[in-house]
Amino acid sequence: MKPCPVCQSSDVKETSSTITRLFLCTYILLAFYFFTGEINSGYLLVLILLFAPYMKICSDCKKSFYSFIPNWSTANLFRCGNELNRYLLAMLPSVLTITILIINFPYTGLGRIIYLPTIFLVNSTIIFFYLRSRRYLNKIIYHFSGAIIIIITIVLSGLMYPQDSGKSIFELIFSRAP
pLDDT tens digits for range 104-130 = 888 877 777 788 888 888 888 888 888
- What's the rounded mean pLDDT across residues 144-165? 85
Residue 133: C-alpha distances to residues 38, 85, 138 (Å):
37, 16, 10
d(CA 31, CA 111): 16
Three-class SS state of 41? coil
Is the overall model pTM greater than 0.85, yes or no? no
pLDDT of the residue at 114 = 81
d(CA 109, CA 164): 6
pLDDT of the residue at 101 = 85
Answer whether 50's CB lies under 8 Å from 18's CB: no
pLDDT tens digits for range 25-63 = 777 777 777 766 676 766 777 777 777 777 777 878 888
* Average model confidence (pLDDT) across the chain: 77
DSSP string for residues in 58-100: ETTT--EEEESS---SHHHHT---SHHHHHHHHHHHHHHHHHH
pLDDT of the residue at 8 = 76
Choose the weakest-confidence range: 77-81, 135-139, 161-165: 77-81
